[in-house]
Chain A
Amino acid sequence: MTQDADILIAGGGLNGPALALALAQAGLSVTVIDARPAPDRTEPGFDGRAYALAIASQRLLGMLGVWPAVGHRAQPILQIKASDGRAGERPAPFFLTFDHAEIEEGPMGFLLEDRFLYTAFRNAMAEDPRITLLSGETVVAQAVTATGASVTLASGASLSGKLLVGCDGRGSGTATRAGIGRSGWAYGQTALVTAIAHERPHHGIAHQYFMPAGPLAILPLPGNFSSIVWAEPDAQAAAIQALSDTDYLTALRPRFGDFLGDIALAGTRFTYPLSLSLANSFIAPRLALVGDAAHGVHPLAGQGLNLGLRDVAALAEVVTLAHRRGEDIGAPDVLNRYQHWRRFDATALALGMDAVNRLFSNDNPLLRLGRDLGLGAVNALPPLRRAFMRQAAGLTGDLPKLLQGKPI
């Protein structure tokens, strides 16, 4: 049976293109099905959406040949300060500070705007003859045979491959159609996301304030700009989002503080409801799930994309090695190896983020004292602090080759 491609990827966000590039490097043909329309030639404007890339993720982008196109646009994170706080008050005395000088790997990560990363992925895919990108298309049906998977697109076209990969987000249609259930819950929190211009330089420092209502992250962008991820209870967030820009800033100021001088809105205002959504299996016959389709996590500490890229690197490695030894790349043996590698790590991290958020989104004075002492203790112990930093940088665990900056 002839197939349209070795691998079909449903979803053209960031994980889909990253996986397509990694698999194409192994000589496999890939078709990416992206719901978004084909981009026009104008460079997208600044909208403030950005990712905190862990070092491991940056290494992966390097191995995929994407980093040279975006590296000069990225802001290195030189220090991370985490603290307990309440709006309008000074941060708790026990600041937890992570400085990149304490680990040998260089900066702790990078802030990179979505528009640059997405454009770089599109360009890299366009240059690779083994990748076909179908824009403005969605998968509406899928089927599995002994030797492959096939999908039907909204346009009526059908495609077949040896393996289907769902990179289609936490509402993953590929997972639902394969009968994979999900577990999870909503946090009752919504993240307000935008970009802020400020008077004084941020010196590459990222801040995470654990507020009773939810965490506020201030992440440095190039120049005197920062990206904020501001979590509030759903109703509160909806009310804040409905405010005028002036009133929005008035609500933000006491939380943001004045350490960067005066602040102004610099980007589009987005909201994202926060929820945990874990697929009950990461695989099904001829199907693998990647990124939020497998595990939608609390976006605390920006781990969503980094966790997705870990899946990408692991699946690319498993499939590449299987292909080189002549195995059927969509066989259950091969997919089991991917699930075995990723599922524990992803679930542990998702539940860890959940626990941290529950611990900190609380105004109980005893809990506050306890966690301030806890942060202080971590801060006082350099080895523990380095361990936290390596975890945040994505440098711990059984790392796939691409995340180590090595070829498969």
Chain B
Amino acid sequence: METASTIDPAEVAKFEAMAAEWWNPHGKFKPLHQMNPCRLDYITTQIAAEFDRDLAAPLPFAGLRILDIGCGGGLLSEPMARLGATVVGADAAPRNIPVARLHAEQSGLVIDYRHTTAEDLAAAGEQFDAVLNMEVVEHVADPLAYLTACQRLLRPGGLMVCSTLNRNAKSFAMAIVGAEWVMRWLPKGTHDWRKFITPDELYALIRQAGLDPVDRKGMVFNPVAWSWSLSDRDLSCNYVTASVKRG
């Protein structure tokens, strides 16, 4: 693993600033920070259920190998490592990798961050107990090819958690007009609404990729409490699914 000491000091300063930005709850990644507890609740509950782990026990995910695709600064990778999992964080944006590494090192966590893609990892024969595929599928050119790569990365009995945005008038209003144009939570152009996927379309794609969808929930923003929560019924905007690879 590349360590911070082998990097040019000017680069380190830049990465430190970027790491601080990624982990600042009021900064550029505020929307991710706000959504993170809700996403983590879903991910941890699903993994615990699939692998029969007790979240109240110490290091409940010990022995599990987890891949975080589109890891960014490590907002999901670090919690998984803290829960005891062996974590690989992959990001297609090369500049995120040293930033995430630096923050993990500061946090005293060992995480294998790599500048790579799901397809390349699958081609290399990598295998995981769980693949976290959060807010990625709406950005890829070929969702089916991408989900198939995710399926190949799973061991038999493995679990994929996949979240994305529904495609309807409401999600257009919330994710594009609200989040990008009005609230400026996200840079304009972050999302292409035409690439959003309805829950039924996603279930169909997941099945075509060779996985069995087992659960789906909405992630709903409550503007009064100013926080996100999971919903059994409201999948109208953000939603998250769990699928297993039958052994």
Contacts and interface: CB of A to CB of B under 8 A. Distances in A.
12 contacts: A26-B56, A146-B106, A147-B108, A322-B37, A325-B79, A326-B80, A327-B40, A327-B79, A331-B23, A332-B24, A332-B25, A340-B226
B107 A328 contact: yes
Contacts of A332: 24-25
Interface residues of B, number: 23
A332 B23 CA distance: 9
B25 A336 contact: yes
A382 interface: no
Contacts, number: 49
A1 B33 contact: no
A328 B106 CA distance: 12
B46 to A, nearest CB: 12
Contacts of B36: 327, 333
Interface-central residue, A326, A332, A333, by most chain B CB under 10 Å:
A326
A65 interface: no
Given A326-B44, A328-B82, 6 more contacts: A27-B57, A326-B78, A326-B83, A328-B78, A332-B25, A333-B37
Interface in B60-86: 78-83
B58 A27 contact: yes
The 6 closest A-B pairs by CB, nearest first: A326-B79, A325-B40, A326-B83, A326-B82, A333-B25, A324-B55
Interface string B112-131: 00000000000000000000
Contacts of B25: 331-333, 336
Interface in A1-53: 1, 26-27
B41 interface: yes
A333 to B, nearest CB: 5
A134 to B, nearest CB: 24
DSSP majority for the A interface? loop
Contacts of B78: 326, 328
Nearest to B57: A27
Contacts of B44: 324-326
B79 A27 contact: no
A397 to B, nearest CB: 14
Interface in B194-211: none
B108 A333 contact: no
A400 to B, nearest CB: 15
A114 B49 CA distance: 44
A355 B226 CA distance: 30
Nearest to A328: B107
Interface string B1-30: 000000000000000000000011100000
Contacts of A321: 37
Interface in B80-121: 80-83, 106-108
B78 to A, nearest CB: 7
Contact of B107 (A147, A322, A325): A147
Interface in A345-394: none
Contacts of B24: 332
A61 to B, nearest CB: 21
A322 B83 CA distance: 11
A86 B19 CA distance: 65
Contacts of B55: 324-325
A326 B40 contact: yes
A254 to B, nearest CB: 51
A322 B23 CA distance: 15
